[in-house]
Structure 1
Amino acid sequence: MTEDPTAAGARPETQVRIGQGPHGRRELLVKVLWIGVWLVFLSSPVGDLAGGRHTPAGTVAGAIGLTAFVATYLALVFRQMGQPFSPRAVASLLAVLAVLAPVLMYCLGLEWGGLFVYLSVACGATLPLRAACWAIPGCGLVMYLVGLRWGAYAVDDLLPLVVLIGFAMVGVGQLVRTTVELRKARATVAQLAANEERLRLARDLHDLLGHSLSLITLKSELAGRMLPGHPDKAAQQVADIEQVSRQALVDVREAVTGYRRPRLAVELAGTQVALTAAGVAAEIPAEPDLADVPGEAESALAWALREAVTNVVRHSGADRCAVRLARRQTLDGPMLELAVEDNGSGGGSGGFGNGLTGLTERLEKAGGTLEAGRVKHGFRLVARVPVAPAGDVGSGA
């Protein structure tokens, strides 16, 4: 089973998602409060306007300029949390802030120097890293130069704050981008896991139903031929069909739940039944000792045997099939080798079909390999899986 992509990010009702727009009234309120805290630097410009130090025209112009500055800043910051503006729109809004901040400070006094804090924050939050590294010190320099009109010493305390907060916002922006990328990567991993689970299920169903339905078809045809003259034998074939159908249903259920691990000994016995029913002379080895064979390796060999026998019955047209099981010492270590060879045509198609492709994937997961192809007198499939060092396992004739 795959993990729900939203499971790891649980408690959405109690967490504010970084790098995403607000989802719901509560998240909107939290983000508004967080942005509102940083509007404290507007207290000086507002106090300056309320103090009556300027002419009525200057006060009105200052109020309009401050309103335009705050509206532009909030629009830029709020949209950057959700669906960002295009680069051209961001540059235009930053240009508005970059014009209003020095103009208002130059015309109305040092109390308006706090606007450069918001300009620096906006640059750090919206610009690419390299551009922000130039724009933030530039904000501090412009503030210092404008402050010369009123006495540069008066902005000495604010200058480090403008630069530090701007670069801090660059770090926050990097964190947000990293969080967004990690969220996308997690969703991708979840999708890949779901695809892998679908592939596993498709392989299992192909191998299970292909084998079982082929056997059912053969026994049904055999029962039909026996029915007129040998009803007792036909009834036996029908009973076998019922048994195979019930086992196929059990196998499918186990495959769907992910717990199926076919056993090689069971598949060897089933191979004898399937080949005999198809009129193929079978050479099957005795039940091997698999005590030192990992479960995954045994399962992969069992699937290989099932797929090979299904192909023999359905496609080869063979009348003889030999199954051999032996241990081999290779450069990669001891291997358990399963060989299935028939004297048929091999189906007459080049390349691997879905069954052999899925089988190759199974064996690779167990550290094994698959070889399949035409030989001089038929078709041969060889599957190998690694095992722990042990004595040779005798192969049956």
Structure 2
Amino acid sequence: MIPFVDLKAQYKSIKNEIEAAVLKALESTQFVLGSEVVALEEEFSHYCGAKYGIAVNTGTSALHLALLAAGIGPGDEVITTPFTFVATVAAIDYTGAKAVFVDIDPVSLTIDVTQIEAAITERTKAILPVHLYGQPADMNPILEIAQRYGLIVIEDAAQAHRAEYKGQRVGSIGDLGCFSFYPGKNLGAYGEGGMVVTNNPKYAQIIEMLRDWGQERKYHHVLKGYNYRMDGLQGAILRVKLRHLYAWTQARRAIAAQYDQLLAKADVKTPTVMPYSHHVYHIYAVRSKERDVLQQRLHEQEIQTGIHYPIPVHLQPAYADLGYKAGDFPHSELASRELLSLPMFAELSPVQIETVSAALCERIPCLN
């Protein structure tokens, strides 16, 4: 069987480093926050090109606290895309604000920057672009619109560790950047984890308090906060894995290039890398009108695949109260019916890539 993601292979490659780091963290008995988390915050924020990093328990918490730090609350509107994991929209909802959707660009699959301005109202307070699948959104037009209208830009970089927009690491481009360290991510914890990065010291201070019950110092609660703290063990594990992120990213990009070559003449559309983008391929998704047939074909040959995402958020029953209907965002809806995510992880072998590609070509002609 060829897995969609193979976390065991990655673990085996760094087993000794991980076990040494975990043992050190256990012996320190700093199980919540602590020195390993502080060190991770410094290392990861520097890696992103940002001044401050605040570690939290999940990527969703990172989004939630970034929105709160930016002053988003009841009655406000935040512009984002419906073609994303539901957490993007859930975090907006947690603040009492309303998500306002803009369709995706059908080529990049990220927010269509030409439609953002038309969605702005007097209640709009922020734009929340999603760097989907590891490809950055087109940030310069977003920043220009935000500046003209006095809006905050919060990057959802949950799938885009080490991705770059015109040479600048994502997360440090807008006012705040939010990352997830869910195990399957390009930089994944052995459990849950997240991070907010920013160059704004006020935002950093607010988020640091909010994640730990709103405390300015122990038992002195300035804000109504949350229990969103990162575990010390996850901090230690992520510090080890951060050292390998460059090599893993290069491997993902090489795998994507091999897929591109092998599928170049297949009747599937491979991912388009935008000219401004350094794509890190959290997901390698091909498009086909026969997506479901292809997925079944691969399943029969013991090749695991995924669908990211089969139902856009505006059509999810939980978010029917936003008032959208089928047909409102045609590019998002078509993408949800056509995209198929192929196996993608740094340890994927050339033989496995060839096997996946050959299986696709059996169903859809690949011309020699």
Report the TM-score range of the alignment, normalised by the length of the smaller protein. under 0.3
TM-score by length of 1: 0.17
More helix by share: 1
TM-score (norm. length: structure 2): 0.18
Bigger radius of gyration: 1
RCO comparison, higher one (Cα < 8 Å, 6+): 2
